[in-house]
Chains A and B, each alone.
Chain A
Amino acid sequence: MNIYPMKYLLLIIGFAVSSVVLAGEGEDIFKKTCAACHTIGKGRLVGPDLQNVTQKQSKEWLLAFIKSSTSVIKSGDADAVAIFEEYNRIMMPDNNFSDDQIMAVLDYISQGSQGGSGGSATAATPATDILAETTPDNVANGASLFDGHRRLSNGGPSCASCHKVRDERIFSSGTLAKDLSQTYENIGTAGVSAIVKNPPFPVMQAAYKNHPLTEEEVIDLTAYLKSVSEQRIYQVPADFSMFFGIFGILAFIAIFMSTIILYFKRKRLAVNHDILSRPSKVIN
């Protein structure tokens, strides 16, 4: 019995099924990952509107760019550099998707493009400006959420664990990720709130996967980042770098000296050192 036809049949069925599944997956991925910065036919957000993007660029180019925009830009591709410059030099994070998954997303985008601007729904674009009714209280709340004085209600890590801002109120903050002082100016309310609510960056995604932020927290943090961005040129945060260096040297000397004092009356030699150090007559 020849089993090869059977095998091919299975393969074909597999493809058919998976493409259906992947179409659904495309929408899923888009909403989770892309929608924070991109729309389909609803105008530019942090990144460009993706309507008809599949017609503007080749599939190979899109595939490479989505996988790692950084390397495409670094390779000097003219289109990529132009987009990078146009959108405030904000890097699109690398994505760890399979080719099939990216194709599914592109399929979803081209379907949405055909439907025109009123086509498939994109959740990210807020209908109104969420900062319209903010007060200084929101900014203060945002500050305490940012540096962790107040915990995020769903238990996510505070922003200052990784991020830094130029703000005198924040004493110490992380240097693991981007400095957020200028972010608001670059990407605006829509961009900031979208990223805070539904982060597209892998590390943030992992960190907030089970600890999403509430609507109020998103508003507070966006308002705070707005105020940071506006106020940053007036801020002179204390610079401790010299102090840490001098303190380190002084502490080292102090510990070193105390070690010498603490161990001054120590047993330095073997008890029978005199006997053992006598010259031996045997030549080894």
Chain B
Amino acid sequence: MDIRSQIAMVFHLDKCIGCHTCSIACKNIWTDRKGAEYMWWNNVETKPGTGYPSKWEDQEIYKGGWEKKGKSITLKGAGKFKGLKNMFHNPNMPVLDDYYEPWTYQYEHLFEAEEGDDQPVARPVSLITGEPITPKAGPNWDDDLGGSQEYARKDVNSQNLSAAEQEAMFQLERMSFHYLPRICNHCLNPACVAACPSGAIYKRGEDGIVLINQKKCRAWRMCVTACPYKKSYYNWNTGKSEKCLLCYPRVESGQAPACMHSCVGRIRYLGVLLYDADKIEAVASCDESELVQKQLDIYLDPNDPMVIKMARANGIPESTLTSAQKSPVYKFVKKWGLALPLHPEFRTLPNLFYVPPLLPTMAFVENGTYETTSESFWGAIEKSRLPMQYLANLFSAGNEKTIETVLKKLMAVRLHRRNETVGDLPENEVSDPMGEVTMDKDTADAIFRLTSLPLFDERFVIPAAHREEAMEMLESTADVKGNTGFGFKEPPKRGL
């Protein structure tokens, strides 16, 4: 057993209001630079929809992630031969039009325009060419367009649904949508790291954050293709690739990442998970039907004395163990089994988990009126507006059973709390769903508390960084004592 610690995340989709505050917080800190304007390390998509970049989930187009080959797995679009083949022309890589051409508005024109017959306007200009453009795409161009022809109906996740089901999904008064905020998953088996020919991408030992070394990056852009979530971006100005760094300078100083800190709906949770690195290959190359369960099994119980002993032996600091025990992510993912990875079939073992949305159940039109009443208070999970298969395609590699269990648990909590606060439900209408998912009242109350009333420190349990220990693994600090300290890391252009 090779126990390591990983900073993992949970996004509670039921709480996401699609305000894009996270995206703006991220953009203001990290990607508000020349060459990075088109990047959204954090973006919020409307589902059903094609997302950003367009149809990123369709690996027949972009060839990202891993695919099973024999007993193990290989990269779908990178590797020695494929990499060589696509070295000078990589047709699987998203082009700028697959993202969007970033633009701004000529605001100065409003003040500086010559006097004339017309009202001056602020024309959109491209941030790449500087020429006036007509924006035709954006990072959230299909925002809230849950039933649109161009976007929602081209969602990759609904392609394996029957024609009738698809039609039902998009009927007027029946269609629905939810939001899907996405950042880098800081995967356990990252395809970007495996694909990089320069060895510039690495997964930090102490917290599992995946980073690109900007000095080593040689602009091969294999990571852009390899990442199935398309969360590695190429900066055309610096000639280097960039990606979400989980705000590691903030995390190291005990602050939550900017997107999480700014989240209005407070949907985001961050904490440590302990996992067994020896099992990664076996889990990543298991059968698709077992992927979710096997991935969840790789994470270990931080309260297990055996696990603690092995973790200590592996050099995991005590503070990290303590925060692993308090981790909200551990509770959502392992203890309660409410959160699932996004697209586990890409086999990268992502560390960002989603509590799937418990969308309203189906209403129907009767006698010309929109009828929402149903025989039971919330309606049955099976009658969700979104077909179960659709959510299963998103979060459980097509396994409907997994997603149904999670939704039933969420429903049981609601029913229990309704009973607690209002008490107007018949006894069996609460106890039956609770019994079905074997949930006791204390657990339901705990889920309710962490979902709706968590304190800041409960949502973000960030371990102390221990950079000093990470440094000591790389070099003997005593050797350089007195040689470093006050000075310049990069030589100044002039002076000294």
Contacts and interface: CB of A to CB of B under 8 A. Distances in A.
Interface of A: 262-263, 266-268, 270-273, 275-276, 278, 280, 282, 284
Shortest 8 CB-CB contacts between residues of A and residues of B = A270-B97, A266-B91, A271-B54, A280-B134, A272-B54, A284-B132, A282-B134, A267-B91
Nearest to A271: B54
B157 to A, nearest CB: 15
A271 B62 CA distance: 10
Contacts of A262: 85
B97 A284 contact: no
A276 B136 contact: yes
Contact of A275 (B55, B89, B133, B136): B136
B61 A271 contact: yes
Given A263-B91, A267-B61, A273 B97 contact: yes
B137 interface: yes
Contacts of A273: 97
B178 to A, nearest CB: 22
A273 B132 CA distance: 20
Given A262-B85, A263-B89, A275-B150, A270 B136 contact: no
Nearest to A278: B136
Contacts of B133: 284
A267 B92 contact: yes
Contacts of B62: 267
A104 B97 CA distance: 75
A272 B97 contact: yes
A278 B135 CA distance: 12
Contacts of A271: 50, 53-55, 61, 94, 97-98
B59 to A, nearest CB: 12
B365 interface: no
A275 B137 contact: yes
23 contacts: A263-B89, A263-B91, A266-B91, A266-B92, A267-B61, A267-B91, A268-B91, A270-B54, A270-B97, A271-B50, A271-B53, A271-B54, A271-B55, A271-B94, A271-B97, A272-B50, A272-B97, A272-B137, A275-B137, A276-B97, A276-B136, A280-B134, A280-B136
A280 B55 CA distance: 23
Contacts of A278: 136
A119 B95 CA distance: 83
Contacts of B98: 270-272
A273 B61 CA distance: 14
Nearest to B97: A270
Interface in B6-59: 50, 53-55
B85 to A, nearest CB: 7
A48 B61 CA distance: 78
Interface string B273-306: 0000000000000000000000000000000000
Nearest to A274: B150
Nearest to A268: B91
Contacts of B134: 280, 282, 284
Interface string B95-106: 101100000000
Contacts of A282: 134
Contacts of A284: 131-134
A282 B85 CA distance: 42
A42 to B, nearest CB: 63
Given A267-B91, A270-B98, A272-B54, 7 more contacts: A263-B91, A270-B54, A271-B53, A272-B98, A273-B97, A275-B136, A284-B131
Contacts of A268: 91
A130 B98 CA distance: 78
Contacts of A280: 134, 136
Nearest to B86: A263
Contacts of B97: 270-273, 276
Contact of A270 (B89, B92, B95, B131): B95
A125 B137 CA distance: 86
A284 to B, nearest CB: 5
A268 B61 CA distance: 10
Nearest to A265: B91
B153 to A, nearest CB: 13
A41 B89 CA distance: 70
A278 to B, nearest CB: 7
A268 B98 CA distance: 12
A239 to B, nearest CB: 35
Nearest to B132: A284
A60 B483 CA distance: 62
Interface in B130-154: 131-134, 136-137, 150
A268 B92 CA distance: 9
A276 B96 CA distance: 12
A276 B61 contact: no
A273 B134 CA distance: 15
Contacts of A267: 61-62, 91-92
Interface string B245-280: 000000000000000000000000000000000000
A215 B59 CA distance: 69
Nearest to A267: B91
Contacts of B53: 271
Contact of B137 (A263, A266, A276): A276
Contacts of A275: 136-137, 150
Among B55, B92, B134, max chain A CB count under 10 A is at B134
A272 to B, nearest CB: 5
Among B50, B61, B98, max chain A CB count under 10 A is at B98
Nearest to A284: B132
Interface string B211-228: 000000000000000000
Contacts of B85: 262
A42 B483 CA distance: 69
A146 to B, nearest CB: 38
Among A272, A273, A284, max chain B CB count under 10 A is at A272
A263 B54 CA distance: 22
Nearest to A277: B136
A273 B136 CA distance: 11
A266 B77 CA distance: 12
B120 to A, nearest CB: 16
A277 to B, nearest CB: 9
A262 B132 CA distance: 38
A10 to B, nearest CB: 40
Contacts of A263: 89, 91
Contacts of B136: 275-276, 278, 280
